[in-house]
């Protein structure tokens, strides 16, 4: 019973590609695509931490999300030109940072800083989940770079688990995995779920855009998300194995 | 088995008070407290809608959240002085707006605008959930004012359900309801749950601050939140009955 | 001969209330009302001074004034959302700071900083004068807190006098004390007068909104203000005596 | 008994010069100097008023004050580079606007706008009073230009009086007129007085920088200011007579 | 005599690639690379012009340039986070706009707007020249799209010539074409030259970073630039021929 | 064959005046006029350099350009009020800084900072070239002041050449020197040329506002600019000789 415009099953991801090391400048990077959504993720490693954290033996990881003005179907004004960040940008940047911090042992990282930049080059729904999933790959490479360059010790277990994220939603009454833009705008409930490779939840953000939802609907959505994140974790592992 | 610093049971709310009509200027208002947390909520009703919405026969509702600089234990710099809104402020303002729009029939509201202002006068955890719960009371009064003043028709069913919100979290391994600041900072998982009076979910935002969480833990937290929101809905009904 | 809408004599204050210690977070605080005008004043005490003042053995006191968006009859846009402070906000913040510095011996204060926040919760004329009068009470408590907590010595005479402020104006040809909004907009001359408890002037700011004024009119207005400030000083003393 | 560093009597102005029509671009302009203080004042006349005033048959007048970064002895950062106006700039701009509006009959002006720009080229105390005094000359010329160019009728009495301003202060116990920077910083009380040519007060802004002041001191200062403003009014009349 | 680190002749371009139609969202787009420098150029076509241009029968073209924070070897702060555009960004955005307007007949374009966005994904010198060269390709496609979609007439000759740009400079005494970052920082003179396909100059911007330069040096640099721009024009033609 | 509105020959400068030492506050200053264009240039000398340059034994020179709001025929909004610098302001500030750095030996200057402020009091074309030419005079005086005040050694050769700038353009097919506003807006090609007193180029910025230009046209324009800069260098020398 296949009811989606692009022919996918309800629990099927769009085509996912991850180009590891796309950037020659950053310590870690990945160009990730979920269907037509493309996000360039870079991880910048710098020795030292912000002043307020100095001397505690812990590292720091933060993230910034942004969209090119013509990533979307209609051009939007640049936030740099407007002179301020929009609420959506702020919110997603904070989500990416929190999500990846959940997989990092800050004491093992030591007094070093990692900044993840996730820039959406083309947007078709699911940009924040693609960003988190791609940023994890960039993060792993930046930590490897730091180990190779002796900024962190050979034995430090900095990365404690893998992290990926996927969207799920109820569209026309049917729960579905990985919504492109056209499904997303029609969804009654829209949920972004960040999980570890070990199958636990890091973030669950569900919103009733239309009808409020019940515990049962929530359960079905979480099962779909669990399936999708397991698929993503497998792809991350393959990419990182090369 | 009572394990909380303030003597509450794990599924017990802090003392909640709602002073309806606290402001003499706004069309609707409520000063709400959850323990030491105090939020002044006002609802401003204005005929007309923003230009991009004109002519569609629908209303508009938006919200803004802010904190006084010395609402907290240490003074923070004013966002008006910094010249920009922080990410947290943006995020909570958006959450309040989305939550209350879930209870409003925009066509019944007609081409009118309601702005909800939630200003935290004193903060001790749970400011966003108190804000949503208090804003609902202010909203009801603003809609009544508009009906009395013939901006909307006598029969229009603008408010479709009640809305309240509460925080839950896992503190030292125990799931608990309505966390004050000192419990909140120690929580492994922290969740804000917005519900309708009819017991459905409008927003579920769960974050693993420490350990990632399982489906089982999520279920327990949602049950606590359901209990807490039912208590809040009862108090809202009492206050609005007077 | 009683000619005011609210039945007051021309030299009579509106009902004044001062709730000392309203905030549980700040070192000093007062919720003051002049009729329907309500201002929450907090005093934040921090050891240390800004860098440019370090090493001179002197303290620092500054003030910030703001209004909630729906303090007034029509909602105004938040300055934090606009991204800049308006001229009126700047001007009143500076006035409050100058006024209270006039009662503080900066050498007795030592290298400590006090920030006074005056947030108007409801506005009906006279917000700046209520703010100054309430801020003085908060200031006294913050200094006491600092003495108790040994940030300043037991014997230091930090507060050298009391400070209060009141508005006066010529409305329909009659000089009057303490103008609410509706009188204020009709006033030809409008004056804010900050005085010490010992009856001297700290600030005199008179403006001809309509007709320019003569020396004689100025004299009558200063007498009214002297009377009003004496009344306020008495109330401050009572509140602080408890 | 002459006690001032520059040899002036206590009730004597510094050398005042007014170059009328200094700018070839503006409808009215004056380069005014009070001693070493030099302010370029331009008046820009534009037909029409801001949207919120349209259709009421009244004009609008506003003012902006600014200082070149090296007008002062130490260079200050440009407000355009900082990205915001300081409180002092805001406050003085508002004062200049209010002061000159006191001499303009807005109905006679009709639906036209005048903007006064006062840019301090060199600063040595008294910049706001020089700005008001020079702006009045620029204003008169802009109104004449508008009359000549038929934007306002030949018979409209737009300017109802003349306006000038001077500073007074108590320095080392002696009340003095027109303080240069070095006297200003030592003054206990500092007052700016804006008056009409007919000898009435438009603004009285007195501040106790050091000791609070008595009614008697205030009286002496107002007499000095009355004398100084009369001198300035005479010079304005001479300049405008040519 | 080959003296460059990457083995190129002094009058040889780096490897240039142009991926036309890289973006599926924009009306025209190109991902251009000059060696390791990669710029994503999109052209957004919108019917209508800014209000100040309405009713004149002319179109409008503008450009915005930006760099991803980790395009460079060290991460730079986002301008959207800083809240303002840097001088360099402003300057290059203006240069791109001016350069491409030189090839557009605004009357043939009619009352339509084209916005060119040039986002540097990876930077290694020559980002502004790559941006101009790639933006031209995106522009041509956007105009074709508009013709196909009947926003402009079939016969309108909107594009009057081709536009490309290249950098030249004097490095260690030798004039060279197309400088990567490492040559650019060592150059005494640095020049960006924008030309038409017909071999005329649109912009010549030469700067002596070290030693001032003579007319003779200028001539040699312009010859190199003419050669490089002819090569680029040939590549643009090939890409657009497909 | 004299074809210009103001009767000048095509290779003739407008009347140039340079009032050295116009400001009594700055270490160096000049009020320069090119016809009706008037620019006040000040040079502020401060011991020390920005933190990122400390300890390298080198100085720093930077420039800021701005225009008074009514310098032009129509009033423009202040950039300080808008809260951001426009692209044109940024671009010209950077040009002035680069141009003057070309004549300064930063090691001879030692760890000292010079800021050049160029404020346009009246604008009629050529403001950036007048600014550069006047700033050079202010710079020389600031360096002399520093030598006199022993901030730099008596023998240090800080200034290595003289710097001036002039505009040239093709108006109605004729190349011309030093364009006032009315010629500038009609020019097909517009070029600003910064040169040393020794006749070499520091900056060449040519823009085809209308028709692209050929190498031959460029040559003619550079000859005119060379002549104009030689005239300016002579005037600078005369002014500095007094």
CA distance C8 to chain D (A): 27
Q: In whole angstroms, what is the distance from residue F50 CA to residue F106 CA? A: 14
Contacts of F216 (CB under 8 A, 6+ apart): none
CA end-to-end span of chain B: 36
Sign of CA dihedral D24, D26, D27, D30: negative
Cβ contact, residue pair C85, B89, below 8 Å: no
Q: Does B85 touch chain C (CB under 8 A)?
A: yes
User: Which residues of A are less than 8 Å from E64 in CB distance?
Assistant: 69, 78, 81
CA distance F216 to chain D (A): 38
Chains that touch E (3 or more CB pairs under 8 A): A, F
Element (H, E) at C19: strand C16-20
Can you point out the beta strands (E) in chain A?
Answer: 16-20, 28-34, 37-47, 60-67, 112-122, 163-171, 174-177, 187-196, 201-208
Helix (H, G, I), strand (E, B) or coil at D107: helix
Cβ contact, residue pair C205, D205, below 8 Å: yes
Mean pLDDT of chain C: 95
Cβ contact, residue pair D218, C215, below 8 Å: no
Of chain B, the percentage scoring pLDDT greater than 90 comes to 93
- Nearest CB partner across the interface for B207, out of A88, A98, A219: A98
Contacts of B197 (CB under 8 A, 6+ apart): B161, B162, B163, B164, B233, B236, B237
Residue E1 pLDDT level (bands cut at 50, 70, 90): very low
Q: Exposure string (b/e) for E71-84, b if CB count within 10 Å is 16 or more?
A: bbeebeebbbbebb
Q: Exposure string (b/e) for F140-172, b if CB count within 10 Å is 16 or more?
A: bbbbbbbeeeebbeeeeebbebbbbbbbbbbbe
What are the pLDDT digits (tens) for C148-175?
999 999 888 999 999 999 999 999 999 9
Element (H, E) at D20: strand D16-20
Q: In whole angstroms, what is the distance from residue F84 CA to residue D80 CA? A: 6
D178 DSSP assignment: S
User: Facing residues of E189 across strands?
Assistant: E170, E208
Q: Encoding tokens for residue E178?
A: 């197309």
For the beta carbon of residue C60, count every other beta carbon within 10 angstroms.
20
Per the document, the length of chain F is 242
Residue D19 pLDDT level (bands cut at 50, 70, 90): very high
> What pLDDT is stored for residue A1 in this prediction?
47
Residue the block writes with tokens 């846009």: C77
pLDDT average per 10 residues of sequence, chain F (242 residues): 81 98 97 98 97 94 98 95 92 97 96 98 98 98 97 93 97 95 93 97 94 93 97 98 88
User: Which residues of B are less than 8 Å from C79 in CB distance?
Assistant: 80
Q: In whole angstroms, what is the distance from residue D215 CA to residue F163 CA? A: 60
Helix (H, G, I), strand (E, B) or coil at C32: strand
Contacts of B52 (CB under 8 A, 6+ apart): none
Q: Encoding tokens for residue A173?
A: 């009454």
Q: In whole angstroms, what is the distance from residue A100 CA to residue A103 CA? A: 5
> What pLDDT is stored for residue B2 in this prediction?
52
Q: Does C64 touch chain D (CB under 8 A)?
A: no
What are the pLDDT digits (tens) for E67-121?
999 999 999 999 999 988 999 999 999 999 999 999 999 999 999 999 999 999 9
Q: Does F90 touch chain D (CB under 8 A)?
A: no
> What pLDDT is stored for residue E210 in this prediction?
83
ipTM: 0.94
Contacts of D204 (CB under 8 A, 6+ apart): C191, C204, C205, C206, C218, D191, D193, D194, D222
Q: In whole angstroms, what is the distance from residue D93 CA to residue D99 CA? A: 10
Choose from B9-23, D209-223, E78-92 the range with maximum mean pLDDT.
B9-23
> What pLDDT is stored for residue B150 in this prediction?
96
Q: Which of B212, B236, B227 is nearest to B166 (CA)?
A: B227
Q: Which of C118, C28, C115, C19 is nearest to C67 (CA)?
A: C118
Q: Does C19 touch chain B (CB under 8 A)?
A: no
Q: Does F204 touch chain E (CB under 8 A)?
A: yes
Mutate to test the interface with D, among C203, C206, C212 (most CBs of D within 10 A): C212
Using CA coordinates, name the residue in chain A closest to B162.
Answer: A212
Using CA coordinates, name the residue in chain D closest to F90.
Answer: D81
Mean pLDDT over B153-176 rounds to 95
Q: Does B71 touch chain C (CB under 8 A)?
A: yes
Q: In whole angstroms, what is the distance from residue A144 CA to residue A136 CA? A: 12
What is the biggest distance separating any 2 CA atoms in chain A, rounded to whole angstroms? 59
Cβ contact, residue pair F87, E84, below 8 Å: no
Chains that touch D (3 or more CB pairs under 8 A): C, F
Q: Does B119 touch chain C (CB under 8 A)?
A: yes
Residues D213 and D173 sit within 8 Å (Cβ to Cβ): no
CA distance B24 to chain A (A): 31
Using CA coordinates, name the residue in chain D closest to C87.
Answer: D90
Residues B41 and B138 sit within 8 Å (Cβ to Cβ): yes
- Nearest CB partner across the interface for F98, out of E93, E207, E213: E207
Q: In whole angstroms, what is the distance from residue F239 CA to residue F196 CA? A: 17
From residue A110, how far is each of A26, A107, D52 by CA, in Å? Answer: 20, 5, 59
Using CA coordinates, name the residue in chain C closest to B41.
Answer: C70
Q: Does A64 touch chain E (CB under 8 A)?
A: yes
Cβ contact, residue pair B66, C72, below 8 Å: no
Q: Which of F171, F192, F174 is nearest to F182 (CA)?
A: F171
pLDDT higher than threshold 80 for residue E3: no
pLDDT higher than threshold 60 for residue A18: yes
> What pLDDT is stored for residue A210 in this prediction?
83
- Sheet with E174-177, strands from edge to edge, namely E174-177, E163-171, E187-196, E201-208, F201-208, F187-196, F163-171, F174-177
Residue E2 pLDDT level (bands cut at 50, 70, 90): low
User: Which residues of F are less than 8 Å from D81 in CB distance?
Assistant: 64, 85
Q: In whole angstroms, what is the distance from residue F230 CA to residue F11 CA? A: 12
Helix (H, G, I), strand (E, B) or coil at B98: helix
Cβ contact, residue pair C75, B46, below 8 Å: yes
Using CA coordinates, name the residue in chain A closest to B163.
Answer: A212
Flag whether B169 is marked binding: no
Cβ contact, residue pair D75, F46, below 8 Å: yes
Q: In whole angstroms, what is the distance from residue D70 CA to residue E209 CA? A: 28
DSSP class per residue in B55-97: TSS--EEEEEEEE-TTSSSS----HHHHTS--HHHHHHHHHHH
Residue C132 pLDDT level (bands cut at 50, 70, 90): very high
Q: Does F218 touch chain E (CB under 8 A)?
A: yes
Residues A125 and A183 sit within 8 Å (Cβ to Cβ): yes
E173 DSSP assignment: T
Flag whether D48 is marked binding: no
Mean pLDDT over C213-217 rounds to 93
Residues C225 and C196 sit within 8 Å (Cβ to Cβ): no
Contacts of A148 (CB under 8 A, 6+ apart): none
User: Which residues of A are less than 8 Å from B86 in CB distance?
Assistant: 90
B14 DSSP assignment: P
Chains that touch F (3 or more CB pairs under 8 A): D, E
A159 DSSP assignment: B
CA distance D15 to chain C (A): 28
DSSP class per residue in C52-69: GGTTSS--EEEEEEEE-T
Cβ contact, residue pair A196, B204, below 8 Å: no
What are the pLDDT digits (tens) for A23-70?
999 999 999 999 999 999 999 999 999 999 999 999 999 999 999 999
Contacts of D202 (CB under 8 A, 6+ apart): C207, C208, C212, D98, D99, D102, D103, D163, D194, D195, D196
Helix (H, G, I), strand (E, B) or coil at E232: helix
Residue the block writes with tokens 């950062």: D77
Residue the block writes with tokens 């003392």: B15
CA distance D222 to chain F (A): 32
- Nearest CB partner across the interface for F212, out of E202, E207, E213: E202
Of chain A, the percentage scoring pLDDT greater than 70 comes to 99
User: Facing residues of E17 across strands?
Assistant: E33
138-157 of E, contacting A, C-beta below 8 A: none
Chains that touch C (3 or more CB pairs under 8 A): B, D
CA distance B90 to chain A (A): 5
User: Facing residues of F164 across strands?
Assistant: F195
23-62 of B, contacting C, C-beta below 8 A: 23-26, 29, 36, 40, 42, 44, 46
Q: How many CA atoms lie within 13 A of A206 on its CB side?
A: 32
Residue B242 pLDDT level (bands cut at 50, 70, 90): confident
Mean pLDDT over A220-233 rounds to 97
Using CA coordinates, name the residue in chain A closest to E73.
Answer: A25
Locate all alpha helices (DSSP H) within chain C, ordered by sequence. 79-82, 87-101, 106-109, 127-148, 181-184, 215-241
pLDDT higher than threshold 70 for residue E49: yes
Cβ contact, residue pair B208, A222, below 8 Å: no
Residue E157 pLDDT level (bands cut at 50, 70, 90): very high
pLDDT higher than threshold 60 for residue C1: no
| Cβ–Cβ pairs < 8 A, chains C and D | 92
What are the pLDDT digits (tens) for D134-172?
999 999 999 999 999 999 998 889 999 999 999 999 998
Locate all alpha helices (DSSP H) within chain B, ordered by sequence. 79-82, 87-101, 106-109, 127-148, 181-184, 215-241
Contacts of B215 (CB under 8 A, 6+ apart): A201, A219, A222
For the beta carbon of residue E86, count every other beta carbon within 10 angstroms.
17
Q: In whole angstroms, what is the distance from residue F191 CA to residue F180 CA? A: 13
Q: Does A98 touch chain B (CB under 8 A)?
A: yes
Cβ contact, residue pair F117, D70, below 8 Å: yes
Cβ contact, residue pair D207, C208, below 8 Å: no
- Nearest CB partner across the interface for E218, out of F98, F204, F213: F204
Residue the block writes with tokens 């109802």: D160
């Amino acid at each position: 019973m296949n009811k989606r415009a692009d022919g996918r099953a309800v629990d099927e991801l769009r085509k996912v590609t991850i180009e590891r090391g796309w950037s020659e400048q950053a310590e870690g990077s990945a160009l990730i695509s979920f269907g037509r959504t493309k996000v360039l993720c870079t991880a910048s490693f710098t020795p030292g931490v912000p002043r307020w954290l100095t001397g505690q033996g812990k590292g720091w990881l933060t993230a910034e999300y942004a969209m090119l003005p013509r990533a979307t179907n209609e051009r939007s004004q640049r936030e740099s030109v407007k002179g301020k960040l929009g609420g959506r940008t702020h919110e997603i940047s904070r989500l990416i940072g929190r999500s990846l911090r959940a997989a990092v042992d800050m004491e093992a990282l030591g007094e070093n800083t990692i900044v993840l930049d996730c820039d959406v080059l083309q947007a078709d729904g699911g940009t924040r989940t693609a960003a988190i999933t791609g940023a994890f790959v960039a993060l792993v490479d930046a930590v490897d770079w730091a180990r190779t360059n002796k900024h962190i010790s050979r034995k430090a277990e900095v990365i404690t688990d893998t992290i990926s994220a996927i969207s799920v939603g109820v569209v026309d009454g049917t729960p579905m995995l990985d919504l492109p833009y056209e499904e997303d705008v029609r969804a009654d409930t829209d949920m972004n779920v960040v999980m570890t490779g070990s199958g636990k939840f890091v973030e669950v953000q569900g919103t009733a855009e239309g009808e409020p939802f019940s515990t049962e609907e929530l359960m079905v959505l979480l099962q779909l998300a669990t399936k999708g994140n397991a698929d993503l974790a497998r792809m991350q592992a393959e990419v990182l194995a090369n």
